[in-house]
Amino acid sequence: MILDAMPAGQPWLFGLLRWRTALRQAEALNLEWRDLQFAGAQPSVTVRNGKGGKYRVVPAHPELVDAFRSVPHRGLTDQVFAGRRGKPLSARTAARWICDGITNGGLRSAATGTAAKGPASHSLHHSCARHGLQSGLNVNTVSAWLGHCSPTVTLNTYLVLAPDTLGDIREFP
């Protein structure tokens, strides 16, 4: 898995956040500490300015909550992920973390048999979506988490990537 091949600290935490919430890279980079609501029965991550300027709330997986609780908030910046001297983390650095995790993890593209190419930093977004659908989550729920305008977008994108989610006709009553 990508996370197993990522260095500890901010790179791993960034990858975990992307995997457990399906946030896009820009959404994750724009997170502020106030967007992480981990108290109470429904921990969540708020995306204030997602793709298309959309607002949404995504549930926070217990693994993510535990990981963030172990990270001290240094107070240098409101941003969750910061670069040197409290400056915002660059998109280039964040993408490199994910791409390095793919490369170091030995992951290959199923289509070509070569190392994954293209928008590899989006791999965790896709992976979270496919995992949710294959685990039996309702497509409306997954679509809302992803920030899609409709479940049709989610189905058109992810059923193509994971055709085995259609099931076995012999199991149909």
Beta strands per DSSP E along the chain: 36-37, 44-47, 56-59
Give the global pTM.
Answer: 0.76
DSSP secondary structure letter of residue 61: P
Query: Are 154 and 146 contacting, i.e. CB atoms less than 8 angstroms apart?
Result: yes
Bridge partners (DSSP) listed for residue 59: 44
Q: Could you report the per-residue pLDDT of 55-88, keeping only the tens digit for each?
A: 999 999 999 999 998 877 666 578 888 887 777 8
Distance, in Å, from the CA atom of 146 to the CA atom of 171, rounded to the nearest integer, reads: 29
Predicted confidence band of residue 169 (pLDDT cuts 50, 70, 90): low
Pinpoint the alpha helices (H) of 3-55: 10-21, 25-29
Give residue limits of the domains in the chain.
3-171
The values of phi and psi at residue 113, to 5°, are 75, 5
Beta bridge partners of 37: 44
Q: What is the pLDDT, as a whole number, of residue 35?
A: 95
- C-alpha 101/C-alpha 82 separation (Å) is 19
Q: What is the pLDDT of residue 166?
A: 57
pLDDT at 118 over 50: no
CATH code given to domain 3-171: 1.10.443.10
Write down the pLDDT at residue 87: 78
What are residue 46's phi and psi, to 5 degrees?
A: -100, 130
The per-residue pLDDT for 55 is 92
Joined tokens for residue 135: 């685990």
CA dist 172 to 135, 136, 160, 164, Å? 18, 16, 21, 15
The residues, any chain, with a CB within 8 Å of residue 96's CB and separated by 6 or more, are none
Model confidence pLDDT, tens digit, residues 123-155: 777 777 888 888 888 888 888 888 888 888 888
125 closest CA partner among 26, 10, 9: 26
pLDDT tens track for 11-57? 999 999 998 998 999 999 999 999 999 988 899 999 998 888 889 99
Indicate if the pLDDT at residue 114 is higher than 50.
Answer: no
pLDDT at 111: 38
Question: In the prediction, which pLDDT does 157 show?
Answer: 78
